[in-house]
Amino acid sequence: MSQLDMTASMLATPTDQVGAAEAFEVLAATPATCTVYPGLCTVADDEDGDQVDANGLHFDHGSDAIGVPGLEVEGDPEIWAQFTHVSAGNPPHIGFMGFDLTPEQAHDKATELRRFADDLDHLADQVHVARALHNLRTVQETTDGPFAKILTIMEDAIVRDGADPVEVGDRILELMAQARAEKAEVQA
């Protein structure tokens, strides 16, 4: 009977909840996965370069890194963190950008990163408006007459009144369409 079949038969005993829990432990401790930090450490004993003890088991533990993908080099994240516990180092901790953080410090950092994400969103909204203004002014420089006047009204609405550039643009298009329709009516 294979280990998988054994686990399956153990799981097939629905009346025995403890048996099911034990079965999951068997699953977690299948060979080549970490028995010290199962479900967390992803170091495998048969990988090249990992140091092992007399029983062939690794003693430097770590997890795969979590991270924010880098913009420049794929696989080189901007921000990264991972579980680490090496035999000669600090107690189990979070490796964060080259620093060893306690769980409490990592929570604090997570709070700061959440705030940063909100700030980045806000900044992106502001730059969205800045871009709209930049485009508008670029067109403004090459135009005159009624259209230039309309662009100035739009610019004022955005800069002075804090209006949303997209809404201002839509409203102007609406007004222009209305004016065209009225003109066509008068001509008819």
In 3D space, the residue among 8, 86, 76 whose CA is nearest the CA of residue 41 turns out to be: 86
Closest CB 44 distance from Zn ion, rounded Å: 9
List all residues 6 or more positions away from 163 whose beta carbon is below 8 Å from its beta carbon. Answer: 157
Nearer to Zn ion, 41 or 101 (CB): 41
Nearer Cβ to Zn ion, position 41 or 81?
A: 41
**Identity of the residue, 11 or 52, whose beta carbon is nearer to Zn ion in the bound complex:** 52
Binding residues for Zn ion (CB under 5 A): 34, 41, 43, 61
Taking the complex as a whole, the smallest distance from the CB of residue 94 to Zn ion amounts, in Å, to 15
Between the CA of residue 116 and those of 79, 91, 119, 168, what are the distances in Å?
A: 12, 29, 5, 30
Query: Three-class SS of residue 26?
Result: helix
Comparing CB distances to Zn ion, the nearer of 32 and 186 is 32
3-state secondary structure of 100: strand
Cβ–Cβ < 8 Å for 79, 68? yes
Minimum gap (Å) between residue 106 Cβ and Zn ion: 19
Could you tell me the two tokens for 117?
Answer: 């994400």
Nearer to Zn ion, 53 or 121 (CB): 53
Shortest gap between Cβ of 95 and Zn ion (angstroms)?
14
DSSP symbol at 55: T
- Whole-number minimum distance, CB 6 to Zn ion, in Å? 24
- CB nearer to Zn ion: pick between 60 and 155: 60
Sign, CA torsion 173/175/176/181: positive
Measured from the Cβ of residue 85, the count of other Cβ atoms closer than 10 Å reads: 19
CB of 12 to Zn ion, least distance (A): 30
Unique residue bearing structure tokens 């643009």: 169
